A and B are shown apart, each in its own frame.
Chain A
């Protein structure tokens, strides 16, 4: 079944990450030696947040006969790009490098993943775009990786995780935002934790389902951190996309933060207007997961009304994660205008690099030829 608008932009797609063996061609001699001598090339580098066998990590009908879900470009074409009529899909690499403590090793792996992404996926499939994987452990090295990859305009975003060591608004992270703004890259914050601290304020949960549920609280935290620290005053052209964040929690965030800010604004004097306005200008949210009761579509429509804007949501399938069944990627009851915004206009507005469509399409063909 086709979506109502041919040409939808899927803002969250997860190709399987290559093994370290698969990355060896993209690493220099020192790291190739290190990885093979230390048997690091036999390690999985899978984030704890997404164990491959977990029901959330792949829709049952999107699992492949062999290999990891999302591990086959033909399957990506067949299962998502073709049936959903996708014009562009943004690949978000979920790779364990970001959880290492060794900054330099993380930087080497991130660079290898980015080069692998360009060569193995972007060159081979012109509908794909990607986020830059960065060693966020070291904002300095992360900014350097952004500078290195930025000339390739098929990279449209920088990817960070929702749960790390310190909240993302902290000034220590600002070199990442400076580099992103300079190169017209959005900052994408994706669900997941490096587990530097316990996932809740009262410590370590027992079950994975709790951790996943707690991701939405992490997004609330990050949103407030970015706003309170003045990131959007410092970087006025920056766009932040909350990916796989859920969004039905957002109205409460907008209400509560706007109210508390009125009471304590003297503490954060650089916030010169309601936090709700700042969010509506600078922050976007991908559609999946839709945390709302399927049996009561009216509740979701009311919640969308509570958001106070139809420019905040970006279409996503979250392929191959299991967020919906069949072709039910969109909620029921949306107006044609809202769907047009969700599927096409909002993503184009959010990602400047998707807007140079004509140019990019030309470049794609050229670079594809060069690569072959």
Chain B
């Protein structure tokens, strides 16, 4: 009987748009069809060239199973490399009507050799199309770009702009310079032109700066947290540099960087902007007003206050229309749509968070 009840519930359950799913290739050979011969050779000979001291691994080793859900390993290959398992374990099981692919591994975003980065970005984009979106209509891709060279990045955006399989443009918030700097503005101009939002997913070591303004941390627990302080820095840069004044149609989603910090950050930005406004005369409005108009946030990893109701305060201050559900499948800190929220959402809030906000943001049917 319990089983029957559970099935009925599942059938009636709200469909979910998952704004953060990580596809991975089984081996680099999956990228070969999408790369010129000399770049395949380059990849085999020299490998990726990043800004940290260990090659082929992260300098802050993750916890259990290298930061993956232990049940997400397919028969062969790494978690996130098997579409059938992803369907069975996640898309079907969790009622995902649409899933946003965030392709992190070996993208062009953090490659120091910019021409190689451009080739990799393009290969990753072809691979997303051929190996994922064309095979599974519930999935959507993000245009990966070699962001540290705006010329290459814009070329890649323009190459993909007409394809509805790509719903957003992905750049790393952990850039070589803060993202508000003018060297990145051509990317924002291209995003505005093609009407696709910017997706900022925490990741990697792209810029090579210490992960905090106070130097390098020691443990993974700190490195994990630094994604949230870093995201605050990135948001602050985009606001104070005047990016949103210059590109009024730009829409930005911050992925996996948390959101509970947003109200306090807005209060802090507003307060100190008020005192210091002579320094940034290009800002015509309070920082929080730009944020309210231009930024969206995904929910995972969801905060878990001792009193779960406290999170409702935060969500109402951020804006119920600005939060979009995400799972981070197949990573270890995956949020299960059935268990993520420890307090009672109204039916309307549920619909907005799990589905409608993302449908509107991405213009999904």
Partner of B209, one of A203, A256, A258, A259: A203
A264:B224 contact, CB within 8 angstroms: yes
Residues of A within 8 Å of B175, CB to CB, are: 202-203
Residues of A within 8 Å of B278, CB to CB, are: 55
A135 lies within 8 A of chain B by Cβ: no
A260:B224 contact, CB within 8 angstroms: yes
The minimal Cβ–Cβ distance linking A172 to chain B, given in whole angstroms, is 11
B268 lies within 8 A of chain A by Cβ: yes
The minimal Cβ–Cβ distance linking B36 to chain A, given in whole angstroms, is 31
Partner of B221, one of A221, A255, A268: A268
Complex CA gap A305/B210 in Å reads 34
A165 lies within 8 A of chain B by Cβ: yes
A213:B269 contact, CB within 8 angstroms: yes
B237:A303 contact, CB within 8 angstroms: no
B209:A224 contact, CB within 8 angstroms: no
The minimal Cβ–Cβ distance linking A62 to chain B, given in whole angstroms, is 14
Residues of A within 8 Å of B260, CB to CB, are: 251-252, 255-256
A221:B218 contact, CB within 8 angstroms: no
Partner of B279, one of A201, A209, A266, A308: A209
Give the nearest-CB partner of A229 in chain B.
B218
Complex CA gap A206/B177 in Å reads 10
Q: Tell whether A164 pairs with B230 under 8 Å between CB atoms, given A263-B332, A267-B220.
A: no
Complex interface residues of chain B between 256 and 275 (CB less than 8 A to chain A): 258, 260-261, 263-265, 267-273, 275
A54:B225 contact, CB within 8 angstroms: no
Residues of B within 8 Å of A308, CB to CB, are: 306-307
Q: Give the A-B pair count, Cβ closer than 8 A.
A: 241
Q: Tell whether A167 pairs with B305 under 8 Å between CB atoms, given A202-B173, A292-B267, A299-B317.
A: no
B221:A260 contact, CB within 8 angstroms: yes
Partner of A218, one of B181, B213, B265, B270: B213
A208 lies within 8 A of chain B by Cβ: yes
A68 lies within 8 A of chain B by Cβ: no
A206:B209 contact, CB within 8 angstroms: no
Give the nearest-CB partner of A261 in chain B.
B221
Q: Tell whether A167 pairs with B218 under 8 Å between CB atoms, given A205-B178, A266-B63.
A: yes
The minimal Cβ–Cβ distance linking B185 to chain A, given in whole angstroms, is 13
B343 lies within 8 A of chain A by Cβ: no
Complex interface residues of chain B between 192 and 217 (CB less than 8 A to chain A): 207, 209-217
The minimal Cβ–Cβ distance linking B84 to chain A, given in whole angstroms, is 28
Complex CA gap A59/B275 in Å reads 10
Complex CA gap A209/B240 in Å reads 8
Query: B-contacting residues of A (Cβ < 8 Å)?
Result: 54-56, 162-170, 193, 196-210, 212-214, 216-218, 220-222, 224-225, 228-229, 246, 248-249, 251-252, 254-261, 263-264, 266-268, 276, 289, 291-293, 299, 302-303, 305-306, 308, 322
Can you add 13 more A-B contacts, CB < 8 Å, to A252-B303, A255-B260? A55-B275, A56-B272, A162-B214, A167-B214, A200-B233, A202-B178, A213-B236, A217-B232, A229-B219, A248-B264, A289-B268, A291-B264, A308-B306
Query: A-contacting residues of B (Cβ < 8 Å)?
Result: 63, 173-181, 207, 209-222, 224-226, 228-230, 232-234, 236-237, 240-241, 258, 260-261, 263-265, 267-273, 275-276, 278-280, 301, 303-307, 310-311, 313-314, 317, 332-333
- Please give me the 8 A-B residue pairs with the lowest Cβ-Cβ distance, nearest first: A200-B233, A217-B229, A291-B268, A201-B230, A248-B264, A209-B276, A252-B260, A221-B212
The contact sample of 6 A-B pairs, CB cut-off 8 A, is A55-B276, A203-B209, A207-B240, A208-B279, A220-B225, A260-B221
